[in-house]
């Protein structure tokens, strides 16, 4: 199986187009056209993770954090980072990263974190990309209509707020004059003719447009259908980083901090709060380095905020704003490993693909609490 096949399915779930600007998501090293048999799922790509991949015979690493935030200035192998690249190339291991696109994806990283905390009725926190929606129209003879419709919705067309696979059709007459090389079944060359057809319409998000059109082309009789595409203004999915939701019952800041320790399996965390006994219930969460967004969380009605990598001076600003913040660290994003593994297993079984999925067994948190 080609790596590209799995990545195309993943990018329907978390399109690269919804990543934050300048975030180096996607292929990091290797080739999407390489065959693979075993994928190692990890949070970080570090030398010890690469050694793990070599040991278990993985030929593909799927990571959340990009391996190359900064380009290499040379290929001096005394640099551990450069040696890691060399080891990957030596063992023909391809590396792919899904970062802020996975953070913003519906059902992705920040939904996993919110679910782990037990939050309900969640909404997005920091608005990101609004994905354009299109209206796709395909004209086809009625005998082929069901095949075309199933191909469209099977590739992701027609998903709406509370419905999936929604499409519309109407009938009409298409008039035409066959020219040289036209389908002989549609009448003699040069003679005016007509045929009864159905027009099928469905909404398609930009990230799924290529997959939907390819699916239509694959089943359309004779290939090369005439597709009509209309951009829908002021409509489309609003993606967001972070989530805000409600705990089932109020907790004090102290109780909630202990809850975070248990949920995320951390030995210690940092609490930024003037009053540890303050009661909180509406919680914002954003995985990774999200301290700079605390004012947005507060403005949107959160009582407290969970994020990582809070800076010293930002902590002072949080205290001044009377806004409690729990910092359990950046490594809580390792929650992606079991969830990505489950997603890949689901897609593998649905499509009868043949490959093995292994979540990394390593803890790549650089910090130790003593």
Q: Find the farthest-apart pair of alpha carbons in the chain and give their distance in angstroms, rounded.
A: 87
SS (H, E, C) 31-89: CCCCECCEEEEECCCCHHHHHHHHHHCCCEEEECCCCCCCCCCCCCCCCHHHHHHHHHH
CB 223 within 8 A of CB 198: no
Q: Helices 209-219 and 142-154 meet at what angle, rounded to 10?
A: 150
Q: Is 282 helix (H, G, I), strand (E, B) or coil?
A: strand
Q: How many CB atoms lie within 10 A of CB 43?
A: 24
Reading the block at residue 13, the tokens are 């779930």
Binding residues are 64-65, 103, 330, 333
CB-hemisphere CA count at 13 Å for 84?
Answer: 20
Q: How many CB atoms lie within 10 A of CB 314?
A: 15
**Residue 20 DSSP code:** P
CA distance 210 to 223: 16
- What region, left, alpha or beta, does residue 315 occupy, with left being phi > 0 and alpha being psi -120 to 50 degrees? alpha
Q: 299-303: which pairs have CB atoms within 8 A and are 24 or more residues apart?
A: 300/123, 300/125, 300/244, 301/244, 302/244, 303/279
Binding residues for a divalent metal cation are 64-65, 103, 330, 333
Secondary structure element (H or E) that encloses residue 97, with its range? strand 94-97
Cα–Cα distances (Å) from 140 to 35, 163, 171, 184, 227, in that order, read 37, 24, 10, 17, 10
* Parallel/antiparallel/unpaired status of strands 325-327 and 304-308: parallel
CA distance 216 to 229: 13
Q: How many CB atoms lie within 10 A of CB 155?
A: 20
Q: Is 208 helix (H, G, I), strand (E, B) or coil?
A: helix
């Amino acid at each position: 199986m080609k790596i590209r096949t799995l990545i195309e399915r993943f990018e329907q779930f978390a399109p690269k187009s919804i990543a934050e600007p300048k975030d180096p998501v996607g292929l990091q090293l290797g080739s999407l056209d390489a065959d693979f048999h075993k994928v190692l799922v990890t949070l970080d790509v570090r030398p010890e993770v690469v050694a793990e991949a070599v040991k278990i015979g993985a030929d593909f690493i799927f990571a959340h954090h990009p391996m190359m935030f900064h380009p290499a200035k040379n290929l001096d192998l005394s640099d551990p980072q450069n040696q890691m690249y060399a080891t990957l190339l030596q063992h023909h291991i391809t590396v792919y990263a899904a970062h802020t696109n996975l953070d913003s994806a519906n059902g992705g990283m920040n939904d996993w974190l919110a679910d782990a905390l037990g939050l309900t009725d969640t909404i997005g926190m920091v608005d990101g990309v609004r994905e354009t929606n299109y209206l796709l129209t395909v004209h086809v003879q009625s005998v082929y209509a069901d095949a075309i419709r199933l191909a469209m919705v099977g590739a992701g067309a027609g998903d709406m707020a509370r419905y999936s696979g929604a499409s519309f059709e109407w009938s009409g007459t298409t008039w035409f004059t066959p020219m040289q090389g036209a389908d002989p079944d549609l009448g003699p060359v040069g003679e005016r003719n007509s045929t009864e057809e159905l027009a099928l319409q469905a909404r398609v998000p930009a990230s799924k447009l290529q997959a939907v059109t390819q699916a239509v082309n694959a089943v359309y009789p004779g290939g090369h259908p005439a597709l009509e595409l209309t951009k829908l203004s002021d409509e489309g999915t609003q993606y967001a980083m972070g989530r805000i939701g409600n705990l089932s019952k109020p907790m004090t800041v102290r109780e909630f901090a202990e809850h975070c320790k248990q949920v995320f399996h951390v030995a210690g965390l940092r609490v930024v709060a003037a009053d540890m006994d303050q009661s909180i219930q509406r919680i914002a969460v954003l995985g990774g380095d999200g301290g700079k967004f605390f004012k947005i969380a507060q403005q949107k009605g959160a009582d407290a905020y969970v994020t990582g990598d809070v800076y010293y001076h930002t902590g002072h600003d949080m205290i001044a704003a009377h806004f409690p913040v729990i910092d359990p660290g950046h490594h809580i994003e390792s929650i992606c490993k079991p969830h990505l593994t489950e997603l890949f297993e689901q897609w593998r079984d649905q499509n009868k693909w043949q490959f093995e999925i292994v979540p990394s067994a390593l803890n790549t948190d650089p910090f130790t609490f003593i």
